[in-house]
Structure 1
Amino acid sequence: MKKEDINTLIKLRKELHQHPDLSNDEAATAHRIKDFFEPLKPDKVIDKIGGNGLAFIYEGNKKGPTTMIRCELDALPIPEETRSKHKSTVSGKSHSCGHDGHMAIVAGVGMDIAQKPISKGRVVLLYQPAEETGEGAERVIKDKQFSTLKPDFAFALHNLPGYPKNEIVLKKGPFAAASKGMVIHLKGKTSHAAHPENGNSPALAMAKIIAGLQALPESMNGFSLITVIHAVLGEIAFGTTPGEATVRATLRTYENETMERLTHFATELATIIAQSHHLDIEISYTESFASTTNDETAWEYVNQAAKKLKLKTKHIRNPFKWSEDFGQFSIDTPTMFFGLGSGKTQPQLHNSNFDFPDSILPTGVSMFSQLINQLNR
């Protein structure tokens, strides 16, 4: 990339960093991106896809595959603790996952296509909303506007602290875990604390459920993990035996099929315990992420792109335990999700002092541009 183009992307990245928008509230960010793409003259723009999402479509003159490259619009409800001049101007919100950098990279891909048009097929540059809550990808897919795109391949990256800058992290098959939030509500009957026998406290059942959930993965084949993240019992009233309790836990697995089994057993365990204590029980699930699973053919394209650019690669054996809602695209589309090292000493994702390193922007753009060279030029 030319130095002036890199400087343009850095300026965009810092502007996005200063003005973070949370999931489902990304209209202002989408507007900034739309303004940036106007001089890049995409053949078509799809607005408000899946919520505040945007899709910029470039078309070739010949038949060929539809290649989708996706990034994320949303930030996090995390106060920023840095001293940078481009620090977040919005109290309690920050781009502490690096989505500002991912957006700038895909903007750089748009600049590259504007300078070197594709010759075949289509390239779709998707700016997806609500990744952090696990809602955005599914909403995009269910949006009737998405049915006109039908990508043959979908690619995305994520910056990875702890890996050397510009190193490409690759894996076939599952790359990031499936996960979901489980909410268990127990209802018994309150009574005076002096006479607990007159009520039905969910305390003991709650304790058994917490212990049982955390032990459940030991009986499962394949990786699984249940983390109890929140629990509340009754009210702060020393004269009252509690009548209600709520337990919240996060379930994680590497494969979607394992998640189905884990969900079934967790539901069964909680229900049996509640019934044995004569409690009413309600179970719901939230923030559901599918496993982000890499297609072998799409993996080969990315591997070849890294080789062509003579970049260092790291082939990992185990998937990451965190989740990414790009996995929703993996269900019906050959996808490839890869990592871009953002520095061994870079603060971890979702830390309050995280700030995307601008020095890796050109590598991200080059990787996606090489994929377009293989598929659409």
Structure 2
Amino acid sequence: MPVLNSIAAYADEMKTWRRHLHAHPELEFDCHETAAFVAERLREFGVDEIHEGIATSGLVAIINGQGEGGTIGLRADMDALPMPETTGLDYASTVEGAMHACGHDGHTTMLLGAAKYLAETRRFSGRVALIFQPAEEGGGGAGVMVEEGIMDTFGIDQVFALHNVPDIELGHFYTTPGPIMAAVDEFHIDIQGRGGHGAYPHETSDPVVAAVSIAQALQTILSRNHDARQEAVVSVTQIHTGSTDNVIPDTAYLNGTVRTFEPEVQDMIIRRMQQIVAGQAASFDVEATLRYEKGYPATVNNADKVAFAASVAREISGEDAVEDNQGKEMGAEDFAYMLNARPGAYLFVGQGPGAGLHNPNYNFNDDVSPVGASFFARLVETAQPV
């Protein structure tokens, strides 16, 4: 079964929605105008319930099917990124310093398309809970929605989400059972030395040399303390210190990211970071403080739900267009919180050639919207048949 005819019939309408959203991006939890636009469309479709103001600007809409049954959750993220847009499109961002550079405008549109179809046809039992979430790019909006009780309040049994991928063939899907995306943490290291004249380093406690040494030593965690058969990343991404050529500064700062899948690997990295920072500080006669901040947990798919979702994707795009054992990625996703709360699956869908995610020239391909909407709709109809 290819793209559903009913959904294909309003592809142009979905394009209009998506381009409106693209022109009006909002950041993190401040997605109020986006949520209002979504709610207005949902009322037009005749959904049964709309619950607004969850996680500040998120919402959950309920569509009742025919007869008793479970509740399947479908999630779309709504927030944009704090970056300028350089596409030159006639519907480019009208908000300075904000851009839909990750396709959340498209994710929202796909779920709206599925909502319209499901509200019209209702060829399913039980209920579908449409989850429109803020703050995926920062703030963990999915986690906040879970903490505010959406899974229990709406009786959600299972939950699914899609993310677009540039440079993967249009309409092709991929996913994997078990861990699919990594836990993401960040670290901050503040070094306090004793500055002075660059010509007299013996009178100082140089934080610059300490910062460089700490950055190098952190790389030994994976090369010498970590089992190479387990995926992990430790990256120092910032070093800030100094102001001119002949002054040794008082302070230095390092920042970076850690990506892991197993809690024991995460714990080992934290322990070794603490030891390295303390040891290097002592060796260079400076004070150094590590602040380690745990972020989104690993995104872990349920194996049975992956098999089910992949079978639905094959109905839409064909047997050869779905890879259901693609393997792990080191990116991160706050849908992890929803998968920790309920079994489900996270899938990627290709959108054809184009600029990559988080690129100022990125643009969601509107041809993907009917594919994603059909996938969501058939998930519901197949999981909860009448």
Give TM-score, length-normalised by structure 1. 0.92
Q: Does 1:282 align with 2:289?
A: yes
| 329-338 vs 250-259, which moves further | 250-259
Instruction: Please tell me the residue identity of whatever aligns with 1:353.
Output: N
- Indicate the residue corresponding to 2:304 in structure 1: 297
1:55 to 2:64 alignment: no
Deviations 1:236-293 (A, max 9, x none): 1555432211100111124444333323322332233224434333322447121111
Which stretch of the first structure deviates more once superposed, 359-368 or 279-288?
Answer: 279-288
Number of the residue aligned with 2:183 = 178
Partner of 1:142: 147
Counting only pairs closer than 5 Å after superposition, residues 65-144 of structure 1 correspond to structure 2 as: 65-117=70-122, 119-144=124-149
Q: Is the 8 A contact 2:307 2:324 kept in 1?
A: no
Give, in angstroms, the shift of residue 365 of structure 1: 0.8
Partner of 1:346: 354
1:189 alignment partner in structure 2: 194
Question: One-letter code of the match for 1:97?
Answer: C
Q: Using a 3 Å threshold, how does the CA distance of structure 1 residues 204 and 91 change in structure 2: closer, same or farther?
A: same
Q: Secondary structure at the match of 1:120?
A: coil
Aligned to 2:279: 272
Indicate which of 360, 370, 376 corresponds to 1:362: 370
Aligned residue type for 1:324: E
The answer to whether the 8 Å contact 2:65/2:122 transfers is yes
CA distance in 1, matches of 2:139, 2:179: 17
Contact 1:201 1:241 in 2 (8 A): yes
Assess if the C-alpha contact under 8 Å between 2:81 and 2:102 holds in 1. yes
- Superposition RMSD on alpha carbons, in Å? 2.1
User: 1:3-62: CA deviations, max 9, x gaps?
Assistant: 542111111001001111122221111111111111223222221212211111223454
Gaps of 5+ in 1: none
1:256–1:290 contact (8 Å) kept in structure 2: no
Which 10-residue stretch deviates more, 310-319 or 349-358? 310-319
CA 150–239 in structure 1, closer or farther in 2 if over 3 Å, else same: farther
Bigger mean CA deviation after superposition, 187-196 or 224-233: 187-196
Does 1:232 pair with 2:232?
no
Cα drift, residue 117 of structure 1: 1.9
User: Of 312, 329, 334, which aligns to 1:325?
Assistant: 334
Distance in structure 1 (CA, Å) of the matches to 2:326 and 2:47: 39
Q: What is aligned with 1:33?
A: 38
Aligned twin of 2:344: 335
145, 168, 173: which one aligns with 2:173: 168
For residues 69 and 187 of structure 2, the distance between their equivalents in structure 1, rounded to whole angstroms, comes to 43
Change (3 A) 1:82 1:121: same
Q: Distance in 2 between matches of 1:175 and 1:240?
A: 47
Unaligned stretches of 5+ in structure 2?
none
Q: Distance in 2 between matches of 1:131 and 1:62?
A: 34
How many angstroms apart in 1 are the aligned matches of 2:182 and 2:166? 18
Is the contact made by 2:301 and 2:344 (CA closer than 8 Å) also made in structure 1? yes
Distance 1:143 1:363 in 2: 31
**Cα distance, 1:71 vs. partner?**
0.9
Are 1:307 and 2:352 an aligned pair? no
* Greater shift in the superposed pair: 178-187 or 117-126: 117-126
> Contact 1:73–1:128 at 8 Å: present in 2 too?
yes
1:228 Cα offset (Å)? 1.2
What SS does the corresponding residue of 2:69 show, helix, strand or coil? strand
In the alignment, the residues of structure 2 paired with residue 260 and residue 358 of structure 1 have an alpha-carbon distance, to the nearest angstrom, of 42
Matched pairs, number: 375
Counterpart Cα distance in 2 of 1:287 and 1:107: 33
Go from structure 1 to structure 2 and tell me whether the alpha carbon gap of 1:238 and 1:84 turns closer, same or farther (over 3 Å shift): closer
**Which of 223, 247, 272 is the matching residue for 2:254?**
247
> Kindly tell me: are residues 218 and 63 of structure 1, through their superposed partners in 2, closer, same or farther at Cα, counting changes over 3 Å?
farther
Shift of 1:207: 1.1
- Residue 331 of structure 1 and its aligned partner are, at CA, apart by 2.0
- Choose which of 360, 372, 376 in structure 1 pairs with 2:380: 372
Alignment of 1:194-213 (within 5 A): 194-213=199-218
Q: Is the 8 A contact 1:49 1:146 kept in 2?
A: no
- Aligned to 1:20, the other structure's residue is in SS state coil
What SS does structure 1 have at the residue aligned with 2:323? strand
* Partners of 1:50 and 1:125 in 2: CA distance: 15
SS of residue in 2 equivalent to 1:133: coil
Of 5, 13, 16 in structure 1, the residue corresponding to residue 10 of structure 2 is 5
Q: Name the CA shift for 1:36/1:374 in 2 (closer, same or farther; >3 Å).
A: same
Q: Which amino acid aligns with 1:261?
A: M
**Do the aligned partners of 2:178 and 2:302 also contact (CA within 8 Å) in 1?**
yes
Q: Kindly tell me: are residues 329 and 267 of structure 1, through their superposed partners in 2, closer, same or farther at Cα, counting changes over 3 Å?
A: farther
- Distance 1:267-1:326 versus aligned 2 partners, 3 A rule: farther
The residue that corresponds to 1:223 in the other structure is: 231
Bigger Cα displacement from structure 2, 236-245 vs 105-114: 236-245
SS at the partner of 2:312?
A: helix
Deviation, structure 1 residue 99: 0.7
3-state SS of 1:184 partner: strand
